[in-house]
Every structure is written in C-alpha cells, then in structure tokens.
Chains A and B, each alone.
Chain A
C-alpha cells in the first residue's frame, strides 16, 4: 500500500466532513468496545493472563533469532519451505516466483495485513495472476479498489448501500440490500474460486517454533478453505509473529478474539503444519512460508521494542477517540489507530508520518485495553521527542516547547507566568467564561470554545489553603 501518512491532517479534516463515513463510524462506535468489555469481564484472571502474555512475547522477542531458526528447522522437517524476505519487494518477488514456477493462474487469499503492507496483490496481478480476496470485508474492498480501514473489520467504513452497488455491478444480479442475502450472494460467487484456485495465500496470526506450525484465526472459515483446497499454500507473515509453544498459543488465543470482537473464541482456528501426508485427500502438496522483516528489525534492541509484542487485535483503534472520528483511511497506511501511529513512522520513516504520533489525545485508553500491555502513549511520546530532536516539527511548535521548557525549569518564573496567563485567559473568556479563539493555537478553538480559567492558578489556591490551615492550627492547636 502506498504511504499517504504525510497527509494525515488534510485527510482527517476531509473525513470529518464525509457524511457517509461519519454515519458508518457512528454505527461502529462502541460496538466492539461494549463486546470486548463483556468478554473481558468473564475472565477472572484477565490481568494475570495479560501479564503472562506480555512477558512471553518479550521473552520470545529477546531471543527472536533463535526462535525463528527453531521454527524454520521444524517447519522444514515437516515439509514446508521457509523463505526469508528482508524487504517488501523481496517478499513479493518470492511469492511471484513460487506462482510462476508452479504455473499458478488463480490465487485465493485470506486476509493478511502483511500482504497489504508489501502490495502483494499488485505484484501478482502484474504477473498475470488472478487474485481473489475471500474475507468478505476484503472482497468488498477489492471490488471497490480501496485499502482496508481497520485491521480486523477492513470494510467498516462502507455502508450497506455502497456494498449493494458494488455487488450489483460485480455479480450482474438484481441489487440486494438485505445483508444476509448479500452475504449469501458473495458466498456463492466466491465458492467457485475456492474450488478452482491453484494457490492459497494466507497470513499467520502466530507461528509456533516447537512444531513449525502457522495458523489462521477467522469467523468466516475462508482461511480454512484457502489453506486446505488449493495444491499450494503460501503463508506470508512478519518475523515478530513467532511464539515458542502450543501452550503459548492457548494463552494468546484467550486474549485475541476477546480483545478484537468480544468473542470468547473465533469460530475457526486452523493450525497448519507441513504438507499433505501420503494418502490424504485434501491439503496442499507444497507449503511455502515467507517470513518478512520489512522494518520490524528496526524495533529490536531499541526503546520501541515493546511494539513487537502486538498481536493485531485492533482494540487500541476501537477505543481511540481519534480513530472513532476520522476512521482508518486518514492514517494513510495499512495500520491505523494508536498501533499504526507507532508502527508506521518506524516502518516508513518518521519524516513520512510525522502527524501520526501527534494524532492522539493521550487519554491512555489504548494502553489500558492492549492485551499485551504495550505502553502505546509512551511510545508515541518517544516518537514526538524524536521528531523534536530531528527538527521535524514546525518552528513555531519547537520555539513554543523550548520556551515552555525554559520556564518549567524555573519555578518562580513559571508561577509568575502562569499567574499572568490565567488572568489574561480569564479576561478573554468574558462574561460567558468561554474563549472563542486562542491566538497562535487556533487548532484548539477552531471547532469548539475553550472554557476560561476562573482567575487563580492551582498553585495560588493551594498556597492560600495551606496558609489558612496553618492559621487555624495556630488558633485551635
């Protein structure tokens, strides 16, 4: 997917004024949030499971190289071929070469964000291969020629009416608007492709080192068909997805669907290990696993390493007030919301995604709901600091922060300045006690008024109360 994150501000403003999108977001808002809250409340040991998961992800990432080699050894032993891709281009070239070498004409795909990252569909289509997305949301977006706007519910921004138009145009059938009937029509259209594809491409939510296993988590069952019916199965996934054991999978799968959609478990989990055994009547004859770096190793050993724990549940974006209002496309790349605001600048360069770490209210909800306890606001703050150091923010902002920093380190000056500022702001608020426009900080007041302070600073009031208390102690004590 082409990076458009540098246009976040303009894009977000447009999305705020898009009535169809705003209606879709209004319907979406809160649904996953409520479902997650219910699902989490059922698990008494939620915090203990979360802490264990964070610790197991950290432990694996600290020895990532060893676990990856162990995974490769076991996957190879079971008949799979493991390929290593340092860049997006390499990943695409590997998959395209597998397709070419096996005379593949049609590929069915289950949802894979890594394949979106590396632009796999474009590459395969350029090689004359038909690519069919089979996750219903991804299928809708393929018809619309749009990227996903959410990592779990990719077509969350689309209205039923828009989908009805797309299906009507693609399926050459009467236009349906009943959601169950539309889903049935898509099922019938895709069934033929499932049965006739030469190669299935899937992602892998985790890869398990001890057994050489890759795996898919879906509700639709599409990944299960993609990995079972075609003669070749190709997995494309990130190097950070490795976990040590089957037991670790059992821990993580308690967290993933609950955090994502509020389900105790997804309807279908398939662990795939190796190729079709002698005598088997289904399953692929060849299995290829492409392990993609494409920026992930930049997190290793640095202050942002905790980000590699991410299990791609989407809870952080579901709970983010910014995401809830602008949707996923505004973020300009594959990963929206808080996790994207940390991943994108590191993957594509902080200079290409500078607004993202700033597109946060720092309400902290993303860190509260993250099933593997990634301190997302802290990581965004670190990116902001880096931007400041690299002089990537506008000069006015940098000058403002420099002045503030000077004052904040001098308590007496700070007290005097805030006292003055509080008086001025109070005067600006007038009789309504509302400030309509803050000169120099227009962004804060362009869409709403700022409540004016009541006249005194906290320090002044605190000092006064301390003095009163001392006085009364003197009198009565």
Chain B
C-alpha cells in the first residue's frame, strides 16, 4: 500500500512565490540574494575567458581544479593551468558543471559520479559553476522529476548549493566562508 502511494510522487502545494514570468530573471536575482555572483556568456567556448576575467577581478591564481567534462575547453589559450582530478584540501579554485539549476532559490544541483566529484565544489575557497540555460527549472520538484527521468534514482551524493558557505554562530553575525567556499560564481551558457 505505501509503495503504491510512494510511486505516485504527490507534489505539495507550490509556494506561489512570484515564480517566473521570467524564470531567468528569478534565477539571477535569487543567486544574488544567496550571495552568488552571476554572469552569462555567448557560447560554451567562452567559459575559459570568463573564468580568467573572474579570477582577475578577485585577484585569484590562474590555476583551477575541474570536472573532466570541462577539461577539453581551451584553458591554455586563456592562460589558465588546470588540474583534471578531484580537489584536495589546498586547491584554491574548483570549476564544476551541474545537473540542473533551480530558479526558485538560486540553487545549483550537483550529482556525484566518478568524473564529477563533490569535493571540487566544496574544498576550494572559490567554486565556479557552469549552468546550461536548457537545464534551468523552476522548482526542486521539477529537478527531482528530471532526476527520475534521466537517472532513475539519486546517486550517492545529491548536492544542492545555494551561495557560498556561511555561519552566524558567534553573536548571530553572518560571516561568509565557514568551512566551504567563500565565493560561488555562476556562469550561464546558452
């Protein structure tokens, strides 16, 4: 009986937050509210150039650890040294893709796999995340529907990131950069 009930995947009332007339505008403003920076590029090949510009703006080293799927971009041409492996404790910048992004809360959703380690989004002080426009959805419910359609069930780690790490444990004063990244930069590609 309960198994049948669970298969129905009943959805609760949706929040009725001013959800898109313009989904993209919602995503952009929620990213800002969560403390992520946001930019758009004209094409996928422009990603390395935007990453360099971002690293320059923040006076960061031009060395990144990244997910394998991004390794074939022209990083050398943009002047960036890449490490195509899982991030370690002293890596400074991690660049990842994502499974999808959620407009309601300015969230990116990362799924773990051998070529998509979660540590790359977590250990470095800066997390740059590439989001494809076609992978932007309105709500978490839609993200789960997509996950079921494409993967069947969740992988080991289903990781929702909404802005940089923070804490308010000392006198309720918000400090950015508790244990995870100090910065999250979202790059939207068509």
A interface residues with partner B (beta carbon < 8 Å): 24, 27-28, 31, 42-46, 48-49, 52-53, 56, 63, 66-67, 70, 134-137, 140, 153-156, 158-160, 163, 179-180, 182-184, 187, 190-191, 194-195, 209-211, 213, 219-222, 224-225, 227-229, 244-251, 253-254, 261, 264-283
Residue from B5, B86, B155, B160 in contact with A244 in the complex, judged by beta carbons closer than 8 Å: B5
- In the complex, the answer to whether B140 meets A52 with C-beta atoms within 8 Å is no
- In the complex, the answer to whether A136 meets B6 with C-beta atoms within 8 Å is no
Q: A229-B119, A272-B156 are in contact. Are A244 and B169 (CB under 8 A)?
A: no
B189 to chain A, nearest CB (A): 24
- In the complex, the answer to whether B2 meets A67 with C-beta atoms within 8 Å is yes
Residue from A44, A187, A228, A266 in contact with B15 in the complex, judged by beta carbons closer than 8 Å: A44
- In the complex, the answer to whether A250 meets B12 with C-beta atoms within 8 Å is yes
Additional A-B contacts beyond A136-B167, A220-B165, A264-B33 (18; CB < 8 A): A24-B171, A44-B15, A44-B17, A63-B2, A211-B153, A220-B178, A220-B179, A225-B122, A244-B5, A246-B147, A247-B144, A250-B140, A251-B11, A265-B160, A275-B156, A278-B114, A282-B118, A282-B119
* Chain B residues closer than 8 Å to A42, beta-carbon distance: 17
Closest to A67 in B: B2
CB within 8 Å of A: which of B1-60? 1-3, 5-6, 9-17, 30, 33-34
Closest to B164 in A: A267
- In the complex, the answer to whether A273 meets B154 with C-beta atoms within 8 Å is yes
- Between B118, B139, B164, B179, the greatest number of chain A beta carbons within 10 A of the residue's beta carbon is seen for B179
Rounded to whole angstroms, the CA-CA distance of A225 and B157 in the bound complex is 12
Q: A228-B118, A250-B144, A282-B118 are in contact. Are A268 and B180 (CB under 8 A)?
A: yes
A132 to chain B, nearest CB (A): 12
B89 in the interface, Cβ–Cβ < 8 Å?
yes
- In the complex, the answer to whether B158 meets A270 with C-beta atoms within 8 Å is yes
A106 to chain B, nearest CB (A): 15
* Chain B residues closer than 8 Å to A278, beta-carbon distance: 114
- Between B10, B114, B118, the greatest number of chain A beta carbons within 10 A of the residue's beta carbon is seen for B118
Closest to A250 in B: B140
Q: A184-B177, A271-B158, A282-B118 are in contact. Are A179 and B6 (CB under 8 A)?
A: no
B146 to chain A, nearest CB (A): 11
B interface residues with partner A (beta carbon < 8 Å): 1-3, 5-6, 9-17, 30, 33-34, 85-86, 89, 104-105, 107, 112-114, 117-119, 122-123, 139-141, 144, 147-148, 153-173, 175, 177-181
* Chain A residues closer than 8 Å to B157, beta-carbon distance: 227-228, 270-273, 283
- In the complex, the answer to whether B154 meets A267 with C-beta atoms within 8 Å is no
Closest to B36 in A: A267
B154 to chain A, nearest CB (A): 5
B27 to chain A, nearest CB (A): 13
Closest to B147 in A: A246
- In the complex, the answer to whether A179 meets B175 with C-beta atoms within 8 Å is yes
Closest to B14 in A: A45
CB-based closest 7 A-B pairs: A221-B180, A251-B12, A44-B16, A279-B114, A220-B178, A137-B169, A271-B158
- In the complex, the answer to whether A254 meets B165 with C-beta atoms within 8 Å is no
Rounded to whole angstroms, the CA-CA distance of A287 and B107 in the bound complex is 27
Q: A183-B178, A225-B179, A247-B141 are in contact. Are A281 and B122 (CB under 8 A)?
A: no
Rounded to whole angstroms, the CA-CA distance of A270 and B34 in the bound complex is 17
Rounded to whole angstroms, the CA-CA distance of A219 and B184 in the bound complex is 13
* Chain A residues closer than 8 Å to B10, beta-carbon distance: 245, 247
Rounded to whole angstroms, the CA-CA distance of A163 and B107 in the bound complex is 33
